[in-house]
Structure 1
Amino acid sequence: MHASKITASATGAIAVGNDNNGYIFTGPVTFQNEANHTTAWNLPQCLPPAIPDFTGRNREISEVEIGISSANRMAILITGKPGVGKTSLALHMAHKVASRYHDGALYADLRGIESNPTLPEEVMGRFLAGVGVAEDEIPAGSDARLDRYRREFTRRKVVIILDNAGSEAQVRPLIPPGGEALVLVTSRFNLSGLEAVYHLFLDVFDDESSLNFLRKTVGPGVVDGDVSSARRVGALCGNLPLALRIAGNRLQTATIFELVEELTDQRNRLGALEAGDLAVRAAFNLSFRNLGKSTRNSLKRLSLVPGGDFGSALCAALNDSDERSAKSVLRKLFEANLIESSPRTGRYRFHDLIRLYAQEQFECDSPKKTATASSRMLDWLSYSALKANLTLNGQIGKFDFPSAPVANISSIEEAAAWVADEAASAAASIDLLLGDGDLARAKALAIQLSFVCEVVGDWQAWEDVVNRGIVITESHPGDPLFDVPILTSKANLLRYRREFQSALDLASKIYPRAQEAQHKMLIANAAKLLGCLRMDTGDTAGAQPLLEESLSLSRKLGLRHEIGQALYNLGTVHRASGRTHEAIAHFEQDLEICIEVGDTSGAAETMNTLALTHMEIGEFSTSERYQREALRTFESVGNPHKVSMVCNDLAISLRHQGRVDGALSLHLEDIERSRACGNISGEALAKANAAVLLVELDRDAEAEQLFQQAVSVLSALGDELRLARTLLGQTSMLFKAGKTDLALDGAKKSIDVFLRHGEVKDAVSAHENLALEFKDIGENDRALFHVEEAMRIGDGAASPYLRGASCLTAIIVCENLNRPDLVAKYVSELREIVDKYPQMVSHLRKEYEGEGWVVPDGSIGDRDA
C-alpha cells in the first residue's frame, strides 16, 4: 500500500450567485497515488457533492440526455435567471453520467458575473495540472497553453463543468475539440454567440415541484399539514428554487402561516427571503450591477408597467428614446435573464421577484425622475388608446395629436395589434391615473378602452375596463357624460355574452338616466340600446319606437355615424317582421354611411346582416359575396367572436348552395376558434351546426357525439335559444333512427322556446323541418299539419324564401294526399312569391332535394360600433 495525496488548486467556496448551496471547490481537486501515477487514483474527481434534495426536473434531465447524445454538440449550455438552479442541474447530471466518462471530472467557477472573472488561461492551467501535467510543463503563454490544453483533452472522456460563465469569450477556449468530453456550461446570460452548443433554458419549478422541494427541505409534515399555505409559499416565491430554499430555512423557526403573511407584503417580500448568507436580493444584485447604466435604468422603469408584459414601444416611451434603442436594451436584459420572453412574439415579462427587485431600485431614484418616467408611460398609453379608437372607427384624420409619445398606429391591423398587446396595461393605468388624482384622464381612458376592446372582441379586457369604470361611477357619481356611456358598455358586453335579461334590466335603468340628463346624444344612444335589447328578447313592437327615437335625435344632431346605426337597427325590425325589401334598403343606407365615415367594422357587421337578408330571398351568391368581405374585415381586426359569427352564417350560405363539405369545414374551424377564445356557448353552437351537416353526410355517430356535447354545455349555461336550436337540429338524425316521438317532443319544446322569445322564423323553420321529415316517411297528414302551422305562424313574419319553401312542401304533400284544392291554393301563393323574388326558383328546387334546414344563429341584431 502506498500513501495517497490529496491536493486542491484553490480553496472552497459557495457557488457564485448561490445557484448551488452546497460546499464546492472553485478549482480542480486531484487525488493521486504517490507511487503509481497510472492507477485510477490519478484521474481527477473534482465534482462538488451531489445535491441531496435535488427535486424534479425530469423534462430538463431528458433534454440534457438528448444533448449528450447529439453528434454535433461541443457543449451543453444551461442558462436561466438568478437562483433558478442551473448549477444544481449541472452537478446532478455530471454525477448521473460520471460512469460514462472514465477519464474523470473537473469543475471551475468562472465567476463571470463578478468584477474580476476567472481568466480562461487560469482555468486551463488548473485543469492541466488536474490531469497530471507537471507545473513546469504548463506553458506560460496563452496560445501555447491553449494548444497544450487541446492536445490533452481532445480525446479524454472527461466531464467538465464551467459554472457561472460571463461571456462567450470566457467559455469558448475551454471547450475541447473532438466531442469526447462532456462540457456543461452554466450562465445567467444566454451566450447566444457560442457555436455548436445544445442550449437548455432552465425555468422555475412548476407548482408540484415546488411543493416536493419544500417537503424535502422542511419535511413532509410541515407541507402536508397545510398544503394550501405551502402552495401559497411556492407562488409567493415565484417557484424560484433559491427563494424556496430560503423559505424552507425560514420555516425552521416560523410557522407556514406566519411566513405566508410575511411574504404577502410585497414591499417586504425580498427582505423576508433572506436566511444566513442566502438572499434573493443579493443574487439579483450581482446581475444588476453587471448592467450598463442605461440598461439598469430601463430595468427599473419597466417595473412600472402594470400589465403582464411589455414591448419595445412602451420601453421607448419610458426611456424617452427611439424604438430601435429600446429593442437593444430589451435584448440585453433578456440576454442577462432579468426578463423573459412573453408568449406574444417580441414581448417580454418579469419574474415576480425580479419585478419587486426592480421596483425597489426604481424607488431609490429621485421623485422627479420617477414621476417623469411614470408620466411618459401614462401619456403613451392614454394617447395610444385614443389613436387606436380613432383608427378603428375611421376618425383618425380628424384629430391632431400633441407632441406626447404615442404608438405607431396607421391601420386597423396595427390598432388591433396594439389593443392585443397593451390593453391590460392600459386598463390597469386607469387606477394609476386615479391614484395621481387625474380623474378626467382616467374617465377618458376607460371610455376609449371600452370601445376598442369591444371592436377587437377582447371580452376579458373589456370586462376589466368596464368594472374599473363602474367603480369610478360609484366613487365619483354625478357625471352622466361618463356614467351613461360606461354603463351602456357594460350592457353591450352582457349582450355579447348572451345575458340578455341582465342587459335589458340595466338598459331600462340607463334610459331614464339619460333622459334626466337632458342630453340628446345620451338619450339617442340609450334609446338605441334599450330598443335593441327589446329586439333581443322578442319585443319587436316595443323596440321600434325606441329605435325611431334614436334615429330622429341622431338626425337632429347631424351625427352620421349614429344615423347609420339607427338605420341598421330599424332594418333588423323590418327583417324580423318579414319586410325584406325595407330591411335591405335600411341596411344599404347604413352600409353607405359606414363606408363614408370610415367605420370598417360597422360596415362588416352590416354586410353580414345584408348577407343573411339576401339569403332569405334566395340570393345566395350575393349573400356569400357580402360574407366573404365581412370575414376579411373581421379577420384583419382580429375579433374572434365576429369571425366566428360570420363563419357560421357563411357555412349556412354554402349549405344552401349544395357545398356541404365547405360548410362543414367552416363549422369545424369555428369549434377550435371558439374554444381558443373561451367562447363556450359559441363552441357548442358550432358543434351543433357541424352535427347537422354530419347527419346529411350519413356520419351519424360523429353527429350524435357533437350533439350530446352541445346539449350538455348549453343546458349548463342556461342558453335557452341556442339549446332549442340544437335540439331542433337533431330532428333529422332522430327520424333516421326511427325515434319519431323523441324528435317530435324535442321539436315541440324548441318551438315553445322560440315563440316565447319572439323568434318566429325559428318556429316556422321547426314546423317546416317536421313537415319534411313526416313527408319523407310517408306520413303526409302529419306533414300537412306542420306545414300549415309554418304558414300560419309565419304569416307576415317569415322570410320570402322560407315561406316559398313551405309552399313547395305543402304542394307535394297535398298531391300525395290527393287534395287538388289545396294544391291550387299553395301553387297560387308560391307563384306570388316567385313573381316577386324570381331568383328563388332554382334554389327552392335544390333545397327541396335536400333535407332539413339550418337556421342562422340569430346573432346580435344591431350595430353598436
Structure 2
Amino acid sequence: MRSSKTIASATGAAAVGNDNNGYIFTGPVTFQSEVGRGRAWNSPHSLPPEIPDFAGRNREISEIEIGISSVNRMVILVTGKPGVGKTSLALHMAYKVASQYEDGALYADLRGIESNPAPPEEIMGRFLAGVGVAEDEIPASNDARLDRYRREFASRKVVMILDNAGSEAQVRPLIPPGGEALVLVTSRSNLSGLEAAHHLFLDVFDDDSSLTFLRNTVGAGVVDGDVSSACKVGSLCGYLPLALRIAGNRLRTVTMAELVEELTDHRNRLEALESGDLAVRAAFNLSFRNLGKSVRNSLKRLSLVPGGDFGTALCGALSDSDERSAKSVLRKLSEANLIEASPRAGRYRFHDLIRLYAQEQFERDSSKKSAAASSRMLDWLSYSALKANLTLNGQIGRFESPSVSIAEIGSIEEAAAWIAEEAANASAAIDLLLRVGDSDRAKALAIQLSSACEVVGDWQAWEDVVTRGIAITESHPDPLFDVLILSSRVNLLRYRREFQQALDLASRIYPRAQEAKDKILLANAAKLLGCLRVDVGDAAGAQPLLEESLSLSKELGLRHAIGQALYNLGTVHRASGRAHEAIAHFEQDLEICIEVGDASGAAETMNTLALTHMEIGEFSKSERYQREALKIFESVGNPHKVSMVCNDLAISLRHQGKAQDALSLHLEDIERSRACGNVSGEALARANAAVLLVELDRDAEAERLFEQAVSVLSALGDELRLARTLLGQMSMLFKAGKADLALDAASKAIEVFLRHGEVRDAVSAHENLALALKDIDEGERALFHAEEAMRIGDGIVSPYLRGASCLAAVIICDDLSRPDLVAKYVTELRAITDKYPEMISHLRKEYEGEGWAVPDDSIGDGAVE
C-alpha cells in the first residue's frame, strides 16, 4: 500500500511528484527489514516504496538488463524530459534485480536542478552510514571521505539509485570502483560526458502502455467503459506518465468524457493537469528555472513556431542571434530535454505539454517583445519562401534582398532543402499573417509557397498551402489572387490524375479571368484550360486556348510564359502525330528555360522531347535527354518527377534491347513511389516491371505484379492506367494459352482508350492484338485488328507508331498471301521511312527480335543511328 502523505511528513520525508508515478520519499536514510510485496531484506535498504501500478517499458527494461550483464556496464544513466518516469523506471529495476545485490539497496535524491544540489560528499556520508560505518569513523575531509567510500564499496554488491543528477561532476565521485555495484542514475540532462555509462533515453508511453497505466491507476472498469475517451486522454496528455498519473487522480472525481473536454481546451490544459501537489507545470518549472536567461527567452520564443519542428536558422531569427549562438541554445535545450530531436537531422521539436508551458511563459513577456519576435519569424519565413521559389524557378534575378534576416539559399539544392524543412512552418505562417491583419503578405506567401511545393513535388504540403489560400479567398476576396490560387489547385489535381475535377475547375477559372480584364491572368487561365483539354484527349479544343496564351504572353513580353505556351502547343502537335512540329516547339521552350535559368522547366521539356524522339525511333537520343532530365530532378529532390523520368527512360532502354536495365529502373521506381505515397505511380511501376518480366520469361513474378497493379488501380478508379495494365497482361495471357481472356482484356482497354481520346494507346493495342493473333494462326482476326490500327490512327499517331502499324499489317498480309494489301501498306511504310530513315533499323530489330519475319524490301536496310 502506498504510504500516506501524513506519514511521510511525520518521518521528515518530502513528497516529490515531479518525475514519478507515485510519491517518492527523500530525507533521512532509514533501513527496513521488510518492504513491498513481502520481500525480505537482510541488508541495508533505503529505497522508496515500490511502484504498485508500474506499466510498460518492456523494451527499456530489456535494454537495462542487457546493460547490466555487459562487462564494465554497471552504470545505467536514464535521461528524459520532466515527468517521463525516469525515477519510476530506476526504482522498478532496483526492486527487480535486488536479489542479485545481497549487500544492499541505496537511494539518494541529488536535487541536481534545484538551487541547493546535494554535494557528492554529503551522499557519501549518508551511504557510508547506511552500510554501518559509525558516524565518528566517517572522515570529515572530502579527500579522505572519498577514499573511505571507495574502499567500503569496492567489493560490495549493492544497487544504488542516484536520482535527479544535475551534472557529471555530481555523479562521478559516487560511482564505486570494482564493478560490483549497480548504479542507476536519473537526470533531466543528458550528462553526455559521463564515462563508462550505458545511456538510455526514456521517451513517453505508447498508446497501449498509456491505457495499461490508466487501468492500473483508476481500474480497468473506468478505462474499458470508455476506451475512445481514454485514448483521447492519453493523446491530450502527450502520453507523458506524470500527466497520465494526474489524469488518473482526476478521474476519481470526474468522468473520462468530462476530463477529455477539459483537456481539449489547450489554454486550460496545464491547469487541468493538477491534482493535489502533483502538477505538470511545477515539474516544468524546475527545469525552466535552471536555464540561463538567454536560453529561457529562446525556449519561450520557439513556442511561436507554428509547424512541427525547427532548426538553427529559425531559432536565430526568433532570438535575433547568429547561427553559432542559436546552435548553442538548441544544444542546451536539448541537453535539458526541454526539446527533442526531430526525425530530420539537425532539427528539433517540442513535446505538446512543454510547448504549452513555453507559450504560457512567452505570454508573460511585454507585448513589444512578443510582437518583435513574431515579426522576425514571419519575415524570415515569408522572405525565405520567396527566395526559395524564385531560385527553384530560375527567377532569382528578380529577388531584392530585404533588410531583415532570411535563410541562406544559394542554389537549387539549397532551395529544395529549405522547402523540405520549412514548408510546414511557412504554410502555417499564412494563418499567422492573417491573424495580425497582413492579408497581402499572407496571399503572397501562399502563391510563392504553392509554386515551390509544386517544383519539389511535395504534394501534401502543396495541398495544405492551397487549402489555406482558398480559405483566404472567402474572407479577403481578390480576383487576381483567387484565380492564381485556384489555378494552383487545378495543377495539383492534374498531378494527382483527377482530370475531370481539374477540367471543371479550370473551366470556371477561365471566364473569371476574362471578366477581370487582366492579360496576365487570362494568359495563365487559357494555358491551364488548354492543358486540361490535352489531358482529356481534346487536342483540337486545346489548340486555340494555347495559342491565345502564347499571343498574350508575347504581347506582355513574358519570356518564361512564352516558353510554357510553346511547350504546351508542342504537346498538341505531339498528340496529333506531328512529331517534327512538336520537337521544334519543345526545342524553343528548352532554349528559353535555359536562358531564364528554369532548371525544372528544362528537365520537364527534355523528358517530353525524349518521348517525342522515341516516337520517331530515335531511342538513343531519347535516352540522352532523359538522363539529363533525371539529374536535374534528382538535384531538386522531386520524387514524382524522378519516378516519371525513370519510367520513361526504362521504355527507351527496352526499345534498345536493354531489358534488364529497364527492369531495374521499374523495380527501383516501385520503392520510390511507395516512399513518397504515390499509390498510382507505384501500381504503374509494378505493371511496367511485369511487362518486362514476361519478356524475360519470368511469368510467375509478372503475374503477381500484374495482380497487385490491377487491384490498386481498380480501387483508385484510375481507368487509363488500369487499361494500360490490362493491355500489358495480354502477352502473358496469350503465352499461357488464355487467348479469350487476353482478347477480353484488350477489348476493355481499347474502349477506355477511345473514350478518353487516347488514340495512340488504342492503336498500339490493336497492333499488339494483331501480331498476337497471327502467332496463334488467327490470320483473318489478326488482319482485322491490323486494319483497325491503321484506320483509327490515320493522321493522328506518331510516325514511329504509324510505321509499326504498317509493318504489322505488311507481315500479316504477307502471311495471308494478300499481295494487294502488302503493296498498299509497303507504299505507306516507305513514305514514312523515307521521311524518318532513323526508325528503319529499330523497326527491323524490334520485329525480327520478336521472331516475326519482315518481308524483303518492305522497309529496306536503314542506317544505324
Shorter-chain TM-score tier:
over 0.9
Which residue does 1:5 correspond to in 2? none
Report deviation, 1:224: 1.2
Contact between 2:77 and 2:197, CA under 8 Å: does it hold in 1? yes
Report deviation, 1:492: 0.7
CA deviation profile, 1:146-178 (whole Å, cap 9, x unmatched) = 222222223322211111111111111212233
Contact between 1:82 and 1:188, CA under 8 Å: does it hold in 2? yes
C-alpha separation between the residues in 1 aligned to 2:579 and 2:707?
A: 35
Residue identity in the other structure for 2:300: K
Residue identity in the other structure for 2:242: L
- Give the match's secondary structure for 2:161: strand
Contact between 1:12 and 1:23, CA under 8 Å: does it hold in 2? no
CA deviation profile, 1:539-564 (whole Å, cap 9, x unmatched) = 11100000000001100111000000
CA deviation profile, 1:714-768 (whole Å, cap 9, x unmatched) = 1111111111111111111111111111111111111111111111111111112
Which residue does 2:842 correspond to in 1? 843
C-alpha separation between the residues in 1 aligned to 2:732 and 2:340?
A: 52
Q: Which moved further from structure 2: 733-742 or 590-599?
A: 733-742
Which residue does 1:144 correspond to in 2? 144
Which residue does 1:257 correspond to in 2? 257
CA deviation profile, 1:624-667 (whole Å, cap 9, x unmatched) = 11111111111111111111111111111111111111111111
Q: 1:248 and 1:850, CA in 2 relative to 1: closer, same or farther beyond 3 A?
A: farther
C-alpha separation between the residues in 2 aligned to 1:346 and 1:849?
A: 57
Q: Which moved further from structure 2: 12-21 or 188-197?
A: 12-21
C-alpha separation between the residues in 2 aligned to 1:701 and 1:64?
A: 48
Contact between 1:26 and 1:107, CA under 8 Å: does it hold in 2? no
Which residue does 1:669 correspond to in 2? 668
Structure 2 residue runs of 5 or longer lacking an equivalent are 1-8, 35-39, 853-865
Q: Which moved further from structure 2: 520-529 or 793-802?
A: 793-802
Task: Describe how 1:504-515 pairs up with structure 2 within 5 A.
Answer: 504-515=503-514
CA deviation profile, 1:421-458 (whole Å, cap 9, x unmatched) = 11111111111111111111111111111111111111
Residue identity in the other structure for 2:196: A
Residue identity in the other structure for 2:584: A
Which residue does 2:550 correspond to in 1? 551
Which residue does 1:185 correspond to in 2? 185
Which residue does 1:270 correspond to in 2? 270
Contact between 2:108 and 2:163, CA under 8 Å: does it hold in 1? yes
C-alpha separation between the residues in 1 aligned to 2:851 and 2:356?
A: 62
Which residue does 2:584 correspond to in 1? 585
Task: Describe how 1:647-662 pairs up with structure 2 within 5 A.
Answer: 647-662=646-661
Which residue does 1:21 correspond to in 2? 22
Which residue does 2:375 correspond to in 1? 375
Residue identity in the other structure for 1:507: A
Contact between 1:394 and 1:598, CA under 8 Å: does it hold in 2? yes
C-alpha separation between the residues in 1 aligned to 2:779 and 2:176?
A: 89
C-alpha separation between the residues in 1 aligned to 2:465 and 2:685?
A: 29
Report deviation, 1:30: 3.5
Which residue does 2:329 correspond to in 1? 329
C-alpha separation between the residues in 2 aligned to 1:409 and 1:791?
A: 54
Residue identity in the other structure for 1:232: K
Residue identity in the other structure for 1:792: R
Which residue does 2:538 correspond to in 1? 539
C-alpha separation between the residues in 2 aligned to 1:745 and 1:843?
A: 30
CA deviation profile, 1:767-815 (whole Å, cap 9, x unmatched) = 1221222222332322222222112211112222222222222232222
CA deviation profile, 1:67-109 (whole Å, cap 9, x unmatched) = 1122242411111100000111111111111112222211111
Which residue does 2:5 correspond to in 1? none
Which residue does 1:391 correspond to in 2? 391
C-alpha separation between the residues in 1 aligned to 2:775 and 2:500?
A: 40
Residue identity in the other structure for 2:522: I
Task: Describe how 1:710-789 pairs up with structure 2 within 5 A.
Answer: 710-789=709-788
Which residue does 2:213 correspond to in 1? 213
Which residue does 2:605 correspond to in 1? 606
- Give the match's secondary structure for 2:198: strand
Which residue does 1:224 correspond to in 2? 224
Report deviation, 1:239: 0.7
Report deviation, 1:13: 3.0
Report deviation, 1:400: 1.6
TM (norm. structure 2) is 0.95
C-alpha separation between the residues in 1 aligned to 2:630 and 2:95?
A: 58
Does residue 796 of the first structure (1) align with residue 795 of the second (2)? yes
CA deviation profile, 1:455-492 (whole Å, cap 9, x unmatched) = 11111111111111111111122x21111101100111
Contact between 2:380 and 2:406, CA under 8 Å: does it hold in 1? yes
Which residue does 2:96 correspond to in 1? 96
CA deviation profile, 1:816-843 (whole Å, cap 9, x unmatched) = 2222332233333222222222222222
Contact between 2:17 and 2:278, CA under 8 Å: does it hold in 1? no
Contact between 1:14 and 1:21, CA under 8 Å: does it hold in 2? no
Task: Describe how 1:393-412 pairs up with structure 2 within 5 A.
Answer: 393-412=393-412
- Give the match's secondary structure for 2:97: helix
C-alpha separation between the residues in 1 aligned to 2:142 and 2:325?
A: 37
C-alpha separation between the residues in 2 aligned to 1:26 and 1:675?
A: 57
Q: 1:112 and 1:44, CA in 2 relative to 1: closer, same or farther beyond 3 A?
A: same
Report deviation, 1:341: 0.6
Does residue 303 of the first structure (1) align with residue 309 of the second (2)? no
Residue identity in the other structure for 1:616: E
Contact between 2:770 and 2:783, CA under 8 Å: does it hold in 1? yes
- Give the match's secondary structure for 1:403: coil
Report deviation, 1:11: 4.4
Task: Describe how 1:799-818 pairs up with structure 2 within 5 A.
Answer: 799-818=798-817
Q: Which moved further from structure 2: 239-248 or 803-812?
A: 803-812
Contact between 1:30 and 1:42, CA under 8 Å: does it hold in 2? no
C-alpha separation between the residues in 2 aligned to 1:588 and 1:721?
A: 29
Report deviation, 1:669: 1.3
Contact between 2:78 and 2:200, CA under 8 Å: does it hold in 1? yes
Contact between 2:18 and 2:280, CA under 8 Å: does it hold in 1? no
CA deviation profile, 1:563-606 (whole Å, cap 9, x unmatched) = 00000000000000010000000000000000000111000000
Residue identity in the other structure for 2:228: S
Which residue does 2:524 correspond to in 1? 525
C-alpha separation between the residues in 1 aligned to 2:840 and 2:780?
A: 26
Report deviation, 1:41: 6.5
C-alpha separation between the residues in 2 aligned to 1:75 and 1:522?
A: 69
Which residue does 1:824 correspond to in 2? 823
Task: Describe how 1:122-521 pairs up with structure 2 within 5 A.
Answer: 122-477=122-477, 479-521=478-520
C-alpha separation between the residues in 2 aligned to 1:280 and 1:336?
A: 16
Percent identity over the alignment is 82
C-alpha separation between the residues in 1 aligned to 2:705 and 2:14?
A: 63
Report deviation, 1:194: 1.1
Contact between 2:530 and 2:546, CA under 8 Å: does it hold in 1? yes
Structure 1 residue runs of 5 or longer lacking an equivalent are 1-7, 34-39, 854-865
Contact between 2:67 and 2:74, CA under 8 Å: does it hold in 1? no
- Give the match's secondary structure for 1:266: coil
Contact between 2:771 and 2:812, CA under 8 Å: does it hold in 1? no
C-alpha separation between the residues in 2 aligned to 1:834 and 1:621?
A: 18
Report deviation, 1:679: 1.1
Q: Which moved further from structure 2: 179-188 or 502-511?
A: 179-188
C-alpha separation between the residues in 1 aligned to 2:249 and 2:511?
A: 62
Which residue does 2:708 correspond to in 1? 709
Residue identity in the other structure for 1:735: F
Residue identity in the other structure for 2:667: L
Contact between 2:21 and 2:241, CA under 8 Å: does it hold in 1? no
Report deviation, 1:237: 0.5
Q: 1:764 and 1:275, CA in 2 relative to 1: closer, same or farther beyond 3 A?
A: same
Contact between 2:770 and 2:784, CA under 8 Å: does it hold in 1? yes
Does residue 105 of the first structure (1) align with residue 105 of the second (2)? yes
Report deviation, 1:682: 1.0
C-alpha separation between the residues in 1 aligned to 2:41 and 2:846?
A: 90
Report deviation, 1:31: 5.3
CA deviation profile, 1:689-728 (whole Å, cap 9, x unmatched) = 1111111222222211211111111111111111111111
